[in-house]
A and B are shown apart, each in its own frame.
Chain A
Amino acid sequence: MMVELLLIVAFGGSLLTYVLGKLSSRLRNGFALLNALALVIMIGMLYGQEFERSLPFGFLGIQFSIRMNMLSWFFAATILGIGLLAVLYSFRYMKGKERLDYYYFTLLFINASMLGTVVAGDLLSFFIFWEMMSWSTYLLISLRGGGKAIFAGIKYIIMSLVGSLAMLVAIVSLYTAFGTVDIGELAVHMQSASLGLALLVVILFSITFVIINALWPFHTWLPDAHAEAVSPFSAILSAVLVRKGLYGLFLLMYVILGFSFLDRLAVGAISFSNVLAWIGAITIVFAAFRALLQNDSKRILAWSTVGQGGYMVLGVSVATSMGMAGGTFHILNHCIYIALLFFVAGAIEHRTGGIRDLDSLGGLIKKMPVAFVGGLVGIFGLIGLPLTNGFVSKWLIYKSLILEGRPFLAFAAFLGTWGTILYGYKFIHNIFLGQLPDELRDVKRVPFTMAVPIMVLVVLVFLFGVLPGIPLSVVNQVGTYMGFEPLDLNVWGIPSESGTLNVVNLLAAIAVAGFLVWLLFKTLGRSTRVDQSDNYAAGAAIPRGRYGFTREFYAPLYRIVSPYVKDFPDALFLWIADRTKALGGMTRKIYSGYVGSYVMYIVLFLAALVFVQLTWSPW
């Protein structure tokens, strides 16, 4: 009963939140938090269970069912965990804004629908939850109003609609072929499926999942949507919603089709996994360069989400235990640090009155220390520095790529990381370091309820980085469920011959290196404290606020790179939209408004019927 209860609490809670909001805003906030907390506790209790059960009702003769296993659990846990933190974070962030009842309702509703997609035991209920997730997300992206947010919302929903129509056709094809949409039964039937059907289904599903996972060339909705949404929701979008695409790919590739079938879907070197891997590689490199060109704190993060999705797909498509573990673990890690970074960017936005432009920020390190720590740790995780969680998963992905003899893919992954270092540094520097603009002299600290989620995530980044064995044991179980060999683990890392990873050694090495640097500065350095602006102008007197460190960061790089890194897919999609509109305008001219021509259409129609009959006599 537990999973049913989970869904009831999730959906019921979102509705009740709305109703309570009409009574009192405190009651609503309290209830929303309690609801999110209850869900986290319930999912915690479901750990390690594995079952599949039919529900007592269905839809047009198709029985609904729900399932719980480590794969579902893993995704459900990330959804609910981030959901809880986002709700807590929202209290202050959203305070004083309009339509809060609606906001909390939609936020919880989206979480509930996402939860539905991962516990659905048949593809039809999966689809229904998926669609509910799509339209409710669309309803929240544009919450802020204004041209950009509206554009982002419409872009998202149209791309998502393309995906869901593709998925609907795929699901119905499976249903007409096998008479069932139950995931477990399909996995059995699929082994005897014809290659044509399998190819159709795989392509259609892949379109859906690639769109929602924002892989090149269908990434174009993501930067707009993530940047324009309110920050707690950006965190949810980036951390968990986008990864529903990977959940779908897992389901498709390893639960429904299975290895042996995937191998059959290959012509020479062109196999499904290879194509996917190269899409991942292109995504990584492309997104890294695009992120470099951004000047908006949330857009940088949004592009980094695109790029990190590439890493996950790379790991997953290698299809070894280690690659799979790396990809899956990276989902969790990315979810932690990107939520952290969006919370930080949101905190900055909140305290500075909505500034996201990196040219006008700077020097906030002393004003907002919590945000600085959060941002720094988040960027460390994103880059994958040792001792942070991102290091472990990226290491696993690199290692598996190298072991499998994929040097070019590994190179793409490295290239992406170098790009990440550059834009990560820009993010930290332009917000926290450099000169504090005069307008930001009296910025306040991060409010407590916003600092709590940030600190929780900071701790998690280090915890999973130092003790990767804990999350990896869960990841191992996910892999085992999908039919991979479990990795050899201990709490500090991976001790086996194929790829040793020991964080203790790393820890020691870093401690020694840090000590040496400290010693060097202590003994040799002779430092004097100077004012920031003295430092900048080498002691010459300059008017304050005239020079900004943070203006036009990486300008030379920008000049070199920007002509080559154009977002062609985006331009293409916009062009299609534009042409469609023009086509509509042209079609409309058929209805000229002149009744004579209308009557002529009727007569012509009759004439056409007669002509067809007399020429080919089909009737």
Chain B
Amino acid sequence: MVSPVLLIAVPLGLAFAMPLIALISRRLPRFVPLVACAFNLIVAIRLIPTVLSAPVIQRIGGFSPPFCINLFAGPVGVMFAGLIALAGLVIAIYALSYIRTGPTVRYHMLYMLLLVGATGVVLTGDVFNLFVFFEVLCISSYALVAYFGDRNGLEAAAKYLIQGAVGSALLLMGIGLLYGLFGTLNMADIASRIGSVSDISVFVPLALIVSGLGVEAAIFPLNAWLPDAHSSAPSSISAILSGIAIEVGLYAVVRMIFTVFGATSIFMFLLFLGVLTVLMGELCAFAQTNIKRMLAYSSIGQIGLIVFAFAMASTISLAGGLFQLLTHTLSKALLFLAAGYMIHRSGSMEISSLNGMGRRMPLTSLAFSFGAFSIVGLPPFIGFPSKFLIVRSALEKQQTLFTLLLGFVLLGTLVEGAYFFRVVQAIYFKKSGDEPASRSLAPALPLISMLILAVLIIFVGIYPQPVADALSTAASDLLDRAAYIGSVLR
């Protein structure tokens, strides 16, 4: 059996070997992320059947938990790792031709570190280890946002850095308090003892950790960094930030609440927060004229939808939330990648500059439309099964409150539909003003990566059954605290 440690160790090693590889040839480093992601994808796929039956606990340092740092490769973790590798691979293919100027070696190195951080967060079973990987993820994304080195990028990165730092500080305080309370950093160990202390002394670290992680997870009102950062970053980085980074932050929040704290009473609060995030994100996106800002705000809306699903805390709703997460990763990545080349072509991020793109870049426009339809949740794209599951889980609660909140969420979907359809119309039916309608395709490599995403979006949309099955196993992994504690501390 392959060890889950490889998922972290190999890319990390390759990332730090990057400067050495660059010494051999300047052209070589850009292929390293491809290799690492492909490796991770294969490892993750090979691990999935194993972890679906029982999670793999990897001990590090030879001690047994709670005395060592352990990795917890459960269904959620490994699927997340696989998704990170998949998105990483596709975006790395895209970046082969998209990232041509600037300090490319450092780009690829930071990109790898970002992926390592993300993979580490989802696999670790130790709170402090989680903090470390989280910082790896955040710091590499601060740097990548400013990759172009222009004014907007630097400003956005600085803002992101400040808010991220505040968030990390809160997170660290929370972890410190937990350590003070229990004298352990192992998640399972903390989880098993959380009932032994008074409510208020658990509440303080909970509030600090939720606020701290919430910054990266882009939960309203902690998400003010996101529109700037996602719109100023290079499109490949926007795609990975939107598709992976905020999802990983959300995973960390959920893992903390569900497993470590077992704080079921906070779900109602999260539910409202989710609905609020949906409405805020979608309304802001509706008012945008800048395509990347629009996509960024739409990510906020999607995160709200996922939070809404998670906060309902049933097997179906968690499966729906995870499915929505998959939808968002694939579709939003596709949208950012497609938008990246359209912006490259038109030279402007204004939506009006995309007029008539359908004729100038037919395949890229088609990819964009697929992503848009999928995010809105139309069949036969991947967004439909995930939306179906979320609606189903909300209605299965059989309570007026949930139905009402679902109504608000669907209102958000409606607004989302309005602005995405507006852009699709602009792309296909509005006449472009200045430029003659000459056809040109994006280069082959980005097209390949968009094609992979588009095929996945359609394929899973038509045949969602295996994914839904796997995700409902993963959902029970998140829900079942006792099994988590038991499997680590046996």
**Nearest-CB distance from A608 to chain B (Å)?**
9
Determine the chain A residues whose CB is within 8 A of the CB of B288 once the complex forms.
588
Which of B224, B389, B415 has the most chain A CB within a 10 Å cutoff? B224
Within 8 A of B (CB), among A576-599: 577, 580-581, 583-585, 587-588, 590-591, 593, 595, 597-599
Interface: A172 (CB within 8 A): yes
Interface: A269 (CB within 8 A): no
Interface: B284 (CB within 8 A): yes
Determine the chain B residues whose CB is within 8 A of the CB of A145 once the complex forms.
429-431
Determine the chain B residues whose CB is within 8 A of the CB of A599 once the complex forms.
162-163, 166
Determine the chain B residues whose CB is within 8 A of the CB of A169 once the complex forms.
391, 395, 403, 406-407, 410
Interface size class of A (residues with CB under 8 A): 35 or more
Interface: B373 (CB within 8 A): yes
How long is the Cα–Cα vector from A584 to B379 in the complex, in angstroms? 27
How long is the Cα–Cα vector from A145 to B432 in the complex, in angstroms? 11
Given contacts A172-B395, A590-B221, contact A602 B287 (CB under 8 A): no
**Nearest-CB distance from B109 to chain A (Å)?**
27
Give the segment of B79-87, B97-105, B210-218 that binds chain A. Answer: B210-218
Task: Indicate if the CB atoms of A587 and B284 lie closer than 8 Å.
Answer: yes
How long is the Cα–Cα vector from A272 to B373 in the complex, in angstroms? 35
**Nearest-CB distance from A143 to chain B (Å)?**
7
Of the candidates B200, B285, B385, B421, the one whose C-beta lies within 8 Å of that of A158 is B421
How long is the Cα–Cα vector from A169 to B411 in the complex, in angstroms? 12
Interface: B128 (CB within 8 A): no
Interface size class of B (residues with CB under 8 A): 35 or more
Of the candidates B166, B378, B392, the one whose C-beta lies within 8 Å of that of A602 is B166
Interface: A601 (CB within 8 A): yes
The prevalent SS among residues of B at the interface is helix
Interface: A434 (CB within 8 A): no
Of the candidates B211, B283, B388, the one whose C-beta lies within 8 Å of that of A606 is B211
Interface: B207 (CB within 8 A): yes
Q: Which residue of A lies closest to B285 (CB)?
A: A584
**Nearest-CB distance from A588 to chain B (Å)?**
5
Chain A 125-151 near chain B by CB (<8 Å), digits 1 or 0: 001100110110011001111000110
How long is the Cα–Cα vector from A143 to B383 in the complex, in angstroms? 26
**Nearest-CB distance from A166 to chain B (Å)?**
9
Determine the chain A residues whose CB is within 8 A of the CB of B385 once the complex forms.
59-60
Task: Indicate if the CB atoms of B210 and A158 lie closer than 8 Å.
Answer: no
**Nearest-CB distance from B73 to chain A (Å)?**
27
Within 8 A of A (CB), among B239-271: 263, 265-266, 268-269
**Nearest-CB distance from B436 to chain A (Å)?**
14
Q: Which residue of A lies closest to B396 (CB)?
A: A176
Determine the chain A residues whose CB is within 8 A of the CB of B66 once the complex forms.
none
**Nearest-CB distance from B382 to chain A (Å)?**
12
**Nearest-CB distance from A597 to chain B (Å)?**
8
Chain B 286-302 near chain A by CB (<8 Å), digits 1 or 0: 11100000000000000
Determine the chain A residues whose CB is within 8 A of the CB of B163 once the complex forms.
595, 598-599, 602
Determine the chain A residues whose CB is within 8 A of the CB of B263 once the complex forms.
619
Within 8 A of B (CB), among A153-167: 153-154, 157-158, 161-162, 165
Interface: B159 (CB within 8 A): yes
How long is the Cα–Cα vector from A577 to B207 in the complex, in angstroms? 38
How long is the Cα–Cα vector from A601 to B221 in the complex, in angstroms? 6
Task: Indicate if the CB atoms of A609 and B211 lie closer than 8 Å.
Answer: yes
Task: Indicate if the CB atoms of B159 and A168 lie closer than 8 Å.
Answer: no
Task: Indicate if the CB atoms of B391 and A161 lie closer than 8 Å.
Answer: no
Return the 4 tightest CB-CB contacts between A and B, nearest first: A584-B287, A598-B224, A584-B286, A142-B429
Interface residues, chain B, with chain A CB atoms under 8 Å away: 158-159, 162-163, 166-167, 170, 199-200, 203, 206-208, 210-211, 214-215, 221-222, 224-225, 227-228, 263, 265-266, 268-269, 280, 283-288, 373, 376, 378-380, 384-385, 387-389, 391-392, 395-396, 398, 403, 406-407, 410, 413-415, 417-418, 421-422, 425, 428-431, 464-465, 468
- 25 cross-chain CB contacts under 8 A: A58-B465, A59-B465, A60-B468, A135-B373, A138-B421, A149-B429, A158-B414, A161-B376, A165-B414, A169-B406, A169-B407, A173-B395, A176-B396, A584-B287, A587-B283, A587-B284, A588-B287, A590-B221, A590-B224, A595-B162, A595-B163, A598-B159, A601-B224, A602-B166, A617-B200
